[in-house]
Structure 1
Amino acid sequence: MSKIDFLKEQIIESRNFVNRLVSELPENLWYTIPEGTDSNFAWQIGHLIISQNFHAIVCITGSNEAVSKLIPVIDYVKAFNGMGTLHRSAEKNLIPVAELKKQLDAVHEICISNLSRLDDRILLEDLEPIPFKHPVANNKYEALAWCFKHEMWHSAEMEAIKRALGHSIKWM
């Protein structure tokens, strides 16, 4: 298996984990911030949308027109950016839950399609130009590896939110 295929497989597996969590929490609770947390499901999903776009698309092949048509990227970065922010929740009904789910799936499909056209030669290349230093990656391999690790980090946070809202942990 090539390295790019391994990374793509890890991105798919981490999204499968997120999709399980998404299926377990009723939509009417997505904008609730449970006591003892600082976030809600809606923000977490919005954050994963912009994060996957940034780490696995923008840094790898540059801005993607299909993503730009799908979501208002600048508005979403303002609402869902997590780098150093203390605000980690979305306002009630900011974006309908069904729309967030569709966007999460669509950005993921664009990501996987994009990665499917690449090979291992790109992995040691510098990141595509971005307006600031990437928080953890110096090359494309590191950005893709961080993409799935970051998503699993947020899966743990989403599990804690779900649990705080009275929904037990389910392992498959």
Structure 2
Amino acid sequence: MNGSMTAKDLLLDQTASSHRWIEKMIDHVPAEKWGLIPAGLNTSLKWQVGHLVLSQHYHGVVVIAGPQPDLLEKLPVKAYSPYFVFGDKIGEVDERFTVEELRASLRLVQEKGLWAIGQLADGDLAGPLFPRPVPHPVATNKQEALSWNVKHNMWHCGQIGMVARAVGHPFDFKLKELTRKP
């Protein structure tokens, strides 16, 4: 963290960066491959994106700023929850949800997550989470929840990368070009 960057600024920057990585990773896989469940992986791009919608909603919005009625009007959390929380219905995801729907939901929740961070003062980061019926699995304050959200996003970028490779569209980080000496 540089001298002028606050903890809030850092979390906002890292969250936005993790969103860009997710977009970059999913953008290069054709929509017709999103529902495929590669052998040995027991996941698909549709499941990964749906799961990220719910996790970003919980870790980045709900426990930070409380339930947001404007978001809940557009985001089908109750319809998504049985399919994208635990991964036990992955085989049903492809027929129930479209790529367009999942991408739109991801954009909505990402925008609201950045808004939620932007509403905080630095002193709010050590404050308690918005109360929920089930305790947060890893965080006791807002900073921990937002930090976990970034880590969780990047964990799933790795899983998205494995699925992309398995369906024939590995992500090219351009490492060969970066490491070549002139």
TM-score > 0.5, shorter chain as reference: yes
User: Residue by residue, what CA displacement relative to the aligned partner does 1:137-163 show, whole Å, maximum 9, x if unpaired?
Assistant: 011110000001000000000100010
Of stretches 143-152 and 160-169 in structure 1, the one that deviates more from structure 2 is 160-169
Maintained 8 Å contact 1:49/1:103: yes
Over 6 Å off, 4+ runs: none
Q: Which runs of 5+ in 2 are unaligned?
A: 175-182
Percent identity reads 33
SS in 1 for 2:126: coil
What is the aligned partner in structure 2 of residue 48 from structure 1? 52
What is the aligned partner in structure 1 of residue 41 from structure 2? 37
Deviation at 1:107, TM superposition (A): 1.1
What is the aligned partner in structure 2 of residue 117 from structure 1? 119
Maintained 8 Å contact 1:42/1:90: no
Structure 2 CA distance for aligned equivalents of residues 48 and 91 of structure 1: 14
Maintained 8 Å contact 2:64/2:129: yes
Structure 2 CA distance for aligned equivalents of residues 92 and 81 of structure 1: 15
What is the aligned partner in structure 2 of residue 65 from structure 1? 69
What is the aligned partner in structure 1 of residue 146 from structure 2? 144
Maintained 8 Å contact 1:60/1:128: yes
Which letter does structure 2 place at the counterpart of 1:79?
A: Y
Distance 1:89 1:120, change over 3 A: farther
| Count of matched residue positions in the alignment of Structure 1 and Structure 2 | 170
Structure 1 CA distance for aligned equivalents of residues 97 and 89 of structure 2: 17
Matched, 1:167 2:176: no
Structure 2 CA distance for aligned equivalents of residues 112 and 89 of structure 1: 32
Tell me how large the CA RMSD over aligned residues is. 1.4
Deviation at 1:134, TM superposition (A): 0.9
Maintained 8 Å contact 1:57/1:114: yes
Q: Which runs of 5+ in 1 are unaligned?
A: none
Of stretches 21-30 and 69-78 in structure 1, the one that deviates more from structure 2 is 69-78
User: Residue by residue, what CA displacement relative to the aligned partner does 1:78-108 show, whole Å, maximum 9, x if unpaired?
Assistant: 22113xx544455223121111111111111
SS in 1 for 2:163: helix
